[in-house]
Homo-oligomer: A and B are copies of this chain.
Amino acid sequence: MGVHKMWDKYPELKRELTEVSQLIISSIHIRDEAIEKKIKTMIQSGGKMLRPAYTLLCAQIGPEQDPERTKAVAAALECLHLATLVHDDVIDQADTRHGQTTINTAYGNKLAIYTGDYLLTLAFSMLSHYADSAPQIKFRGFEADKILAGELTQLHGEFQTSVSVKRYLAQISGKTAQLFAISCYAGALSSQAKEKNARHAWYLGHYFGMAFQIIDDLLDYKGKSELLGKPAMNDLNQGIYTLPLIYALKADPQKLGLLLQKRNTLTDADMVAVLEIIEKHHGYEKALSLARRYTQKALKELRVLPDGTYKAILKELTQDLLDRTM
């Protein structure tokens, strides 16, 4: 199974992403063959690989090209992402991801927890290998701990109807934007970009990540799940109140608050009622509008970066995000 079809129109990038994927695969060594195979299949089963793609593209910002180093950094960041997916699947009790049985379903939660830990540790091992040759690529600078601090804050805020836009933005900044920021920054640094440009890359990733997560949360309401033929609304069921709902809660706290008191025992009729209130108060439009503003900010960072073919691709990727439906 190759990399995601979305990369077909960028053959060079697609080739590099394939190599990143192969590097991850070849770095996994577990004494138990069945487990090793399962993890490798999971990795190869067609995630988008957006984060390593941003790393590879931002590695064209600086003057030096070191493909081996860049690929290792990109692989490490994808591993970090994969680790969070494996743990998310345990937490969400997810059965499948990209059409493959999840590790928790195939081998149980225990093994899935350790698999996530393994991938997390592997990510840091890979990064460290290149810490020497690019001293700035330091984990501290990455502040990867912020990613988990964001997740922790979100979890503890479950089912709280008092959640503010500010708190929501802080949460997605940690859990999503941080890793995109790191991915862009690390790519820039691996090409010996000037510190000023590396910072622009950081913010490019950060703003892109913010927009990406807002859209992702929007799709949970507006998108139609292939399986269900209706919105998945996973977040609502799990008490994760995202932007469209937060806007509606601000506009009509009483009616919506009453509905949400049922927490995770909402009926289908309740869900429809929630959707209607969001619709009435333009929750989706407001969320989309904020995502659009973050996208504009990302593109503004991109504009000041040195010229190169990578810029057109990054621009297209960043804009396409607003129109994505999955």
Interface residues of A (CB under 8 A from B): 29-32, 34-35, 83-84, 87, 90-91, 107, 109-111, 113-118, 120-122, 124-125, 127-129, 131-132, 135, 138-140, 142-145, 147-149, 151-153, 155-157, 170
Contacts and interface: CB of A to CB of B under 8 A. Distances in A.
A124 B153 contact: no
B91 A110 contact: yes
Given A120-B120, A149-B31, A153-B32, A144 B131 contact: no
Contacts of A116: 113, 117
A207 B219 CA distance: 53
13 contacts: A30-B152, A30-B153, A32-B156, A34-B156, A35-B156, A91-B109, A109-B109, A114-B151, A117-B148, A128-B138, A128-B140, A129-B138, A131-B139
A117 B124 CA distance: 13
A73 B127 CA distance: 18
B117 A120 contact: yes
Nearest to A148: B118
A32 B30 CA distance: 36
A148 B128 CA distance: 17
Q: Interface centre among A107, A110, A142, A151, by most B CB within 10 Å?
A: A110
Contacts of A148: 114-115, 117-118, 121
B145 A140 contact: no
Nearest to A238: B110
A117 B111 CA distance: 15
Given A31-B149, A111-B152, 9 more contacts: A87-B114, A91-B110, A113-B116, A114-B151, A118-B151, A120-B121, A125-B145, A127-B139, A128-B138
Contact of A170 (B29, B31, B35, B131): B31
A251 to B, nearest CB: 26
A138 B131 contact: yes
